[in-house]
Structure 1
Amino acid sequence: MRLRIWLILGFLTLAMICVAGFEFRHAWFQSNWISEYASQLRYQPVEGQSDAIHFPESGPFDQRLGYSLIPQFQPRLQREGFQITRQMRFSPELMEYAGRGLYVPYDEKTQAGLRIIDARGEVIYEFGYPRSGFAGFEEIPPLLVESLLFIENRHLLDETLPRANPAVDWPRLMGASMAMLVGTLGGEGPGHGASTLATQMEKYRHSLEGRTQSPIDKLRQMTSATVRAYMHGPDTLQARQQLVRDYLNTVPLAAAPGHGEVHGVGDALWVWFAEDLQRFSANLNGDNGLADQARALRQALSLIIAQRRPSWYLLGGREELQQLVDSHVRLLASHQRIDEQLALAALGTRLEYRDWQADPLLEPSGADKTAWVARNQLVSLLGRSAYDLDRLDLQVNSTLDANLQRTVGDFLEALADDIVASEAGLLGERLLSPQQASQVRYSFTLMELTPDGHQVRVQTDTTGLPFDLNSGSKLELGSTAKLRVLTTYLEIIAELHEQLAGADADVIQAARSRRGDPLTLWAADYLRRNPDATLEQMLEAALQRRYSASPYEQFFTGSGVQRFNNFRKEDNNRIVTVQQALQESINLPYIRLLRDVIRYCMHQRVEDAESLLTNDRDPRRRAYLETFADREGRVFLQRFWRRYQGMDEAQRFERLLRQVQPIAARLAVVYRELHPQADYDTFREFLETHVRVPQSPERIERLYRTYAPGSYNLNDQGYIAKVHPLELWLLGYLREHPQATLSEVLEASVDERQEVYSWLFRTRHVSARNTRMRIMLEKEAFAALHERWRRVGYPFAQLVPSLGTALGSSGDRPSALAELMGIILNDGRRIGLRRLGSLHFAEGTPWETRFEPAPLEQEQVLHPAVAAALRGALSAVVLDGTGRRLQGVFTDAEGQPLVVGGKTGTGDNRIHTVTRSGAIVASSVLNRTATFVFFIGDRHFGTLTAFVPGEDAGAFHFTSALPAQVLKSMAPVLAPHLTSPDSVGELQARASLP
């Protein structure tokens, strides 16, 4: 009986061994089961955001291609108005599979990168990474395949095993397992690993840091590679051939200066050996003779071997790599994989690496200004470097018209030639001299009003740098600021019409009694005389209000007194309308207009502002003055903090002494305050050292007693020493708290800041209080003005609280001016700016995600009647003003003139050193600008700026006539775009129709 049982058990064991042996060799059962299972791991696209998707986490390829970053990009893009319109949805089986940490099976890309498409579908930028590779298995030189498999995976392409699992090499796995077991028992076994090409690819693509961190990680790699091999069915021969191709195209091979990370044999040949892939293939195939074939063989073996420690072998261990290559050549010959003649030639050949000094690797950027603009926008949008951006699996649609952008860019670049500049009419008075043409930089923006928003069609400049002058600069653009002032002025008139039109006599009378608010007074008086006036009529009347152009008045502005000048002295004695001042760009009327706007804002912010300014008994004044004392005290403390930052106590004291005159009383009060523990002898030695006039012992003793600590308050100490009291306080505080931070200093000085300004509250200082009240209310009024300007696209966080803002002293950006022009053109509606269309990540992969701009909500930021009045005023600038040279230049398809409007501005930007009376004693030139912000017809608008940076700008005297003339000469370039019935906006609209 026992014998029978043992026979049965033996037979079953033998059967199991036979079945296992058959399965290990032919993979019959696993190929059927796993391929059936893999067929359930599906994904398909759905509209909108997917409710079933699992993104990879840490694999190097998943990071580089951006697949694991899509969840990070999503909130950034949503904040910028993008939404997911298409995304992959995983089947339940695939969700469970990915949730277990396994790598999702799909046909992975061996080359991907950034691709940018313009508004007409033309490719404007494309970066494929790796740069070169084998398109198919049949392109790979057989000797390269033979060498790779001999070293790494000898039976991978065995055609007698059509269902073989490429993830597992059973003899190799068992050998590695035995070696591990022997090692745990204290012995020594062979050091080879169990990885196949398939598991190696899973490791360097998807494992954390491209490494195997644990046995569980190795199991994850083998399982994932197995499922990936059978995802197209039980027959794996084609999958194994593709695996060889993919490995050769993607294997990591260190990093090189000027290139970055090197992946794939194709890029590695070029980077390390300056060898082209096609020439290498021909050489290795023997097409070019034995010597070239031998060199190609050594190159191939070097890269195959180097993948184990690429940074070492390709940079520091090249001699060791040479020896390993020699060993493998001999092995290939002994196994009859190469003939003896080739082996001898290869052994007699030395590798020649790229000489980084003589032949540096300078990767061509392939990017013109169009691509720079789009890529810079993406850098800002996604928060990634340009290097990382190029390697994302991403296609982006830009709103730019690449053909028009290139044509405009070429036109502007050509203006550096004095002959071309002369033909374009750019030479002459208030323009350029022939010698100056090459030094001027131009910046141009053209936008188109579409139902989907203001779309940028051209955004270029001639700086020759990736920096974007249009939207990345802060420039004083001169009188273009008058357009912002006029916009706010007409907006205020519209508000007053809404408040007062149809109001009863008491409301009108109350408005007429508001002292110090000229705009409200005028509106009330106008509506009293014209009670039935429409808003359009009132706006027209407002444009006809008159202001003096006299430059002889002093203006209290920006916490001081300023004078302003007109560009032409002939205007000094004129009294002109607001409309005329805009047309002819006369400065002083707009200075006075902005003053009226600021006064209106004061009275809007503060009820009865005139009382605060003039009535010293107004109880509200004290709170304002205390706020002023606190703010100005903070400013001084921050200044003193920077002055003494990084110094020790002795250095701070020496620094203070340099600004104190060597008079005994002044030095005594400073020394006694900052050295309160010093005895008389030390004090005497200090005075004898630092005071030029010898002092008697009695005098020194009296000074020691008189200025003892606590004898005088902060104000008195500062007055005696002729040093700001807060500077003395700060040095005393730092002596006791040497590690204090600025925030701690400000927190500790609340009472001292008020004490220092206690003089301000004394009866005799009424004038000083009035001045500071005006400063406070003016700052609040400019803050209110800033809110209005921000609503219509002003790009910066604050305005300079000075009437010079009417002439551009607060700065602006060409692109922001263009946005304001778009609002005016769009009947006062702000619809947002589109520079990028859709962003399509990971196309054709399980993580494919498409972001598109969400529909824009139009915000009515100006009354339509105000926008219409502004268009009329701007048209007059071209019809009979500073932009008249553009009159009749642009026509529609029938030859009829298009309505053109705009505003010119010239910025002569300098830093002036002035005396207390306002006289300029020194001046340094920063740059010179001239800008024309315009609209053409009912769809197109933009800006054109001429710019000269640095001190050389002092030699230029061009005005805004220069950009106006450039735009005129550009008309033939722009005309096809402006008049074509197939404008970009219409093409896009038709493309969206069913």
Structure 2
Amino acid sequence: MRPLGLLLFATLFGVGGYATWHELQTSQWQARWVSRYAASLDYHLAPGPSSEIRFPEDGPFDRRLGYVQLPTFIERLSARGFEVQAQARFSPTLLDYASRGFFVPYRHQSQVGLTIYDCRGLPLYTNSYPQQFYESFEDIPPLVALSLLFIEDRGLLDASRPTVNPAVDWPRFAKAAISQLEKRLGLGGQASGGSTLATQVEKYRHSPEGRTGDPQEKLRQMVSASVRTYREGPQTLAARQRIVRDYLNSVPLSAASGHGEVHGIADGLRLWYGADFAEVNRLLDPRRNADSDLQARGLALRQVLSLLIAQRRPSYYLGAGRKELASLTDSHIRLLAAGGIVDTRLREAALAQQVEFRDLQREPAIRTVEATKGISVARMRLAGLLGMPLYDLDRLDLTASTPLQGELQTKISAYLASLADPQVAAEVGLFGERMLSPEKTADVRYSFTLFERGEQGFRVRVQTDNTNQPFDINEGSKLELGSTAKLRVLTTYLEMIAELHQRYSILDTRQLRELEVRDPLSRWAVAYLAQSSDRSLPAMLDAAMERRYSASPAERFFTGAGLHHFNNFRREDDHRIASVRDALRESLNLPFVRLMRDLVSYSTHEAINSAELLKNDKDPRRLEYLTQFADREGSIFLQRFWRKYRGQSAEQRIETFLQGMRPTPVRLAAVHRYLLPDAPRAAFDHFLTSRLPAAALDAKDLDALYTRYGPGAFSLPDQAYIARTHPLDLWLLGYLIQHPGASLSEVVAASRDERQEVYGWLFRSRHKSARDSRIRIMLEVEAFTDIHRRWQRLGYPFDNLVPSLATALGSSGDRPAALAELMGIILNDGVRLPSVRIDSLHFAEGTPYETRLGIRPNIGEQVLPREVAATLREALAQVVEGGTARRLQGSFVQSDGSPLRVGGKTGTGDNRIDTVAAGGRLISSLAMNRTATFVFYLGPNHFGTLTAYVPGQTADSFRFTSALPVQTLKGMAPILQPYLQAGADSLCQPPRPSRQVPSAQPTRLTAGTPGTQ
């Protein structure tokens, strides 16, 4: 090459080398190009769901904050009545960038967590995580920042390089690359890390499992960190300072028992060492610690430094490796002193100290969560909506709102809690007949729910009790709520009348008289329409309310597979013949039992001609009903027997079985040969002789028994008859011996043939009467299946009803919240709306994943005719105006002083287990709980329930009725009154002054005040 060419080449090479060296030192070209590119990686929030968005697929922080799960959350919420109202849109460049796998650039928040607001927009619950943090770089003591940089990234804050890229330290990166190459080639040498603070933050936040799994992942971290740094422009000093702050606020420091994950130096100091974050910062800041104790400064330095070191292997160093951590901390203190970061005096003071780890057993790190019922309900509802535990829920980047009215919630909670004080209870009027006595006030639990109806749903404004326990009587219980079941019975009755009106009102009088109808309701409907001049549905419903039923308890009712006897609450009512309206108003039992019988008859005749079925023994449908009976009855017995043996070993199960029989040689032989057919003869002999030592069985006797009752000699029913036990009990025990871990569902599935065999006697001709009674049982079960379907459509919460007329009096159980939903349907002209406890969710505010969800506009479902709802409202108002809730009359008024229309239904549940001997003689009665409930509406927009509840055997000493919740609600009137004024969402507006009337004030009852039921 000619000299001129060599000179030119050398010049170009030198210029290129200098430019490269200059770029590595200053990052000027990167700053210019990358910042322009990063500025195009934009996003914005727009209405509706977004198709221009890509959620992260992994990463510890992205999972903890809920960004990874957002598509799943949206899907779950959409299935539960929510819709995306606004969501972030990625710019085309950002969408392309994210699709290549890089981490989306945005400014991380130092503190996030769940926040729940009430309907006024005021915080009801806030969980900030981490609890403490550095709000700005200036808040960090210089000694803390310098110590971190000395350990991890010494040139990060070099102000002489304003555009430098903090994501790559090229010498350090080259050294790390060479060490990795040596490792792959099997050469010696100490491995070096190439991570800067910027890439470390990317790694533990966004990389899978917070790790660098391969070179490709490292490249992704570096590119993502570079783009994130330059997104706010080519000057990077502020971004680099923010990296230091973010690292100190979010570095993972293992997990502490009772707290969970620990992130950030602040929470690390508190949870691992019990140190005060503010005090540590004061000690390590020379601007504030001029007079501080040197030893305290040394300990503070050691605590912070140990956490900065522990982040490399936090689970090890903060657990089993504490001694090694102490040694490493000593080394780093000396290095800091050698580097001029700390002076000699502070070095010696720090070396002389030893950190003491917090004893998490004696000082648990459990964060106290405010446990008011409203907060508990809101958190549990959110957890259910999103399908995640409360621990994870609290750490989501989520703001939610609830329709609860925080101020009213607090007032009602305080009022219910105050009722434990006998003096307050007396002022409210809770003492008297069928009420309370002063020594028992503290044992009663009260639960209250208030809804407000709106266009989008029934919004829960108050949900509270006086226990502040997670268990929620309103939504989590199954209780016998007594006469409140009459409201469901009446609703179904009027619904059936409306069906009959729709079916027959189009017929003329001649056609009606020619009809052949079999059930009592249909006969009445046809007769009414044939002779009435007013055929409108309201008139017919009003007439239906005047139908009369006997209140006599003399009749025995074949229901629920047996004969039953029912009583009224008051004996004075036994000779009455009351209208349906009066029976509801005064809560008479027997008229509703007979009304329920008519409902069963209606449902039965709607499905099948039961009279013909019972008359003709050759009807092929009888076989189907008998088969269903055998299957159902056998399943009930199996469930009972399975519970008896649950959790026991095979030997224990046999002993349990034998405890229920009187042993004889024949019975024991039949049992053993069925249960253990393959057992050796010696085991059989030992089984009998050990249990019957006085029987003096010789070898001949044992041989005869062994042979006579061997496998196949008798059918299962005959073998059980010989053993004097239930065939299914014997079969189940044998099955469990062969399948010891069988579940109840497996047992039921495996016993299908045996259940039919056990009831085979039903199919023999000489047992027609027995077959008839079993068919009647199955017809009743079928009818209750139809009634259950109707109840479920109106919010009944359970999967089945007890197929018995006793369901009219509450034997099938209910929930206060479900009763409130029924009241909402009645108040809302028969339209069912969703019960709203969470009305909006706002995920990831200010991030590229921001998503807002709200309740989907819902026109509701017409589940009852409007006319039926209006008839029910009127009937319920009469319960307050002159019935069992009459003590509430006049307690609520409107702002102009006129009375507020109030209606409701009372119910008392005395839930106990009675043991009855043959002939019906009561042997014992064990109280399980006692309830008294009032489900109500207050004016045109508000409704709810109030329940008084005593759990356990303590209930045996209480005799209160639903007079107690009615009087409790009356005492609550002054609190509720200002919030019940006309107008949409009135509960979420400032309360208006209201005119009070004397009857709305709490009153004290005398001992002679009559109770209500």
Q: TM-score, normalised on structure 2? A: 0.92
Residues 167, 222 of structure 2: 8 Å contact kept: yes
Residues 906, 930 of structure 1: 8 Å contact kept: yes
1:205/1:630 CA distance change after superposition, 3 Å: same
Indicate whether 1:447 and 2:448 are aligned: no
The equivalent position to 1:514 in structure 2, one of 500, 517, 528, is 517
Corresponding residue of 1:862: 864
Indicate whether 1:851 and 2:859 are aligned: no
Corresponding residue of 2:1002: none
- The 1-side partners of 2:634 and 2:399 are apart by 54
- The 2-side partners of 1:816 and 1:463 are apart by 21
The alignment partner of 1:898 has SS state of coil
Per-residue deviation, residues 550-597 of structure 1 (Å, max 9, x unmatched): 122211111112111111121122221111111111111111111111
Matches within 5 A, 1:278-293: 278-286=278-286, 287-288=288-289, 289-291=292-294, 292-293=296-297
The alignment partner of 1:958 has SS state of coil
1:60/1:895 CA distance change after superposition, 3 Å: same
Q: Which amino acid aligns with 2:248?
A: L
Matches within 5 A, 1:414-429: 414-429=418-433
Residues 120, 984 of structure 1: 8 Å contact kept: no
Residues 110, 135 of structure 2: 8 Å contact kept: no
1:697/1:236 CA distance change after superposition, 3 Å: closer
CA root-mean-square deviation:
2.7
Residues 31, 163 of structure 2: 8 Å contact kept: yes
Corresponding residue of 2:388: 384
Indicate whether 1:146 and 2:149 are aligned: no
The alignment partner of 1:470 has SS state of helix
Per-residue deviation, residues 642-661 of structure 1 (Å, max 9, x unmatched): 65678888776666555554
Corresponding residue of 2:629: 628
Per-residue deviation, residues 715-763 of structure 1 (Å, max 9, x unmatched): 4333333233344555667788889887776566544433332321223
After TM superposition, give the deviation of residue 982 of structure 1 in Å.
7.6
Per-residue deviation, residues 481-520 of structure 1 (Å, max 9, x unmatched): 1100011111111111221224145652455x434x2111
Matches within 5 A, 1:88-237: 88-237=88-237
Q: Which amino acid aligns with 1:38?
A: A
After TM superposition, give the deviation of residue 95 of structure 1 in Å.
1.4
Corresponding residue of 1:409: 413
Q: Which amino acid aligns with 2:271?
A: V
Corresponding residue of 2:488: 484
After TM superposition, give the deviation of residue 439 of structure 1 in Å.
1.1
- The 1-side partners of 2:739 and 2:746 are apart by 10
Corresponding residue of 2:1009: none
The equivalent position to 1:908 in structure 2, one of 910, 928, 932, is 910
Corresponding residue of 1:802: 804
Residues 274, 354 of structure 1: 8 Å contact kept: yes
- The 1-side partners of 2:733 and 2:281 are apart by 76
Corresponding residue of 1:549: 551
After TM superposition, give the deviation of residue 6 of structure 1 in Å.
4.0
The equivalent position to 2:971 in structure 1, one of 969, 972, 981, is 969
Q: Which amino acid aligns with 1:898?
A: L
1:85/1:526 CA distance change after superposition, 3 Å: same
Gaps of at least 5 residues in structure 1 are 989-994
Corresponding residue of 1:978: 980
Residues 87, 849 of structure 2: 8 Å contact kept: yes
Q: More deviation in 23-32 or 762-771?
A: 762-771
Q: More deviation in 454-463 or 620-629?
A: 620-629
Matches within 5 A, 1:27-42: 27-42=27-42
Residues 456, 859 of structure 2: 8 Å contact kept: no
The alignment partner of 1:836 has SS state of coil
Q: Which amino acid aligns with 2:955?
A: A
1:308/1:910 CA distance change after superposition, 3 Å: same
Gaps of at least 5 residues in structure 2 are 991-1013
Matches within 5 A, 1:654-665: 658-665=659-666
Q: Which amino acid aligns with 2:977?
A: A
1:525/1:90 CA distance change after superposition, 3 Å: same
Per-residue deviation, residues 201-228 of structure 1 (Å, max 9, x unmatched): 0010001111111111111111110111
- The 2-side partners of 1:482 and 1:641 are apart by 34
Corresponding residue of 2:240: 240
Corresponding residue of 1:992: none
The alignment partner of 1:84 has SS state of strand
Residues 290, 345 of structure 1: 8 Å contact kept: no
Per-residue deviation, residues 515-536 of structure 1 (Å, max 9, x unmatched): 4x21112222222221533221
Corresponding residue of 1:947: 949
- The 2-side partners of 1:718 and 1:423 are apart by 64
The equivalent position to 2:349 in structure 1, one of 336, 345, 348, is 345
Per-residue deviation, residues 91-138 of structure 1 (Å, max 9, x unmatched): 222112111111011111111111111111111111111111111111
Corresponding residue of 2:767: 765
1:735/1:827 CA distance change after superposition, 3 Å: closer
Q: TM-score, normalised on structure 1? A: 0.94
Q: More deviation in 341-350 or 699-708?
A: 699-708
- The 2-side partners of 1:468 and 1:35 are apart by 55
After TM superposition, give the deviation of residue 181 of structure 1 in Å.
3.2
After TM superposition, give the deviation of residue 685 of structure 1 in Å.
8.1
- The 1-side partners of 2:280 and 2:682 are apart by 89
- The 2-side partners of 1:217 and 1:915 are apart by 76
Residues 878, 903 of structure 2: 8 Å contact kept: yes
1:658/1:324 CA distance change after superposition, 3 Å: closer
- The 1-side partners of 2:726 and 2:757 are apart by 13
Indicate whether 1:69 and 2:79 are aligned: no
The alignment partner of 1:426 has SS state of coil
1:762/1:165 CA distance change after superposition, 3 Å: same
- The 1-side partners of 2:459 and 2:949 are apart by 25
1:731/1:964 CA distance change after superposition, 3 Å: closer
Size of the aligned set, in residue pairs, is 985
The alignment partner of 2:333 has SS state of helix
After TM superposition, give the deviation of residue 426 of structure 1 in Å.
0.8
After TM superposition, give the deviation of residue 617 of structure 1 in Å.
3.9
- The 2-side partners of 1:641 and 1:356 are apart by 43
- The 2-side partners of 1:660 and 1:464 are apart by 48
Corresponding residue of 1:824: 826
Residues 141, 285 of structure 2: 8 Å contact kept: yes
1:703/1:244 CA distance change after superposition, 3 Å: closer
Residues 502, 531 of structure 1: 8 Å contact kept: no
After TM superposition, give the deviation of residue 311 of structure 1 in Å.
2.5
- The 2-side partners of 1:34 and 1:597 are apart by 77
The alignment partner of 2:130 has SS state of coil
The equivalent position to 1:299 in structure 2, one of 296, 303, 311, is 303
Corresponding residue of 2:614: 613
- The 2-side partners of 1:385 and 1:321 are apart by 34
The alignment partner of 1:844 has SS state of coil
Indicate whether 1:530 and 2:561 are aligned: no
Matches within 5 A, 1:685-696: none
Q: More deviation in 169-178 or 438-447?
A: 169-178
- The 1-side partners of 2:298 and 2:688 are apart by 89
1:662/1:779 CA distance change after superposition, 3 Å: same
After TM superposition, give the deviation of residue 836 of structure 1 in Å.
1.1
1:38/1:642 CA distance change after superposition, 3 Å: same
The alignment partner of 2:132 has SS state of coil
Q: More deviation in 1-10 or 61-70?
A: 1-10
Corresponding residue of 2:254: 254
Per-residue deviation, residues 30-60 of structure 1 (Å, max 9, x unmatched): 1111111111211112211111111111110
Corresponding residue of 1:991: none
After TM superposition, give the deviation of residue 248 of structure 1 in Å.
1.0
Q: More deviation in 720-729 or 869-878?
A: 720-729
1:556/1:419 CA distance change after superposition, 3 Å: same
Taking only the aligned residue pairs, the percentage that are identical comes to 54
1:956/1:724 CA distance change after superposition, 3 Å: closer
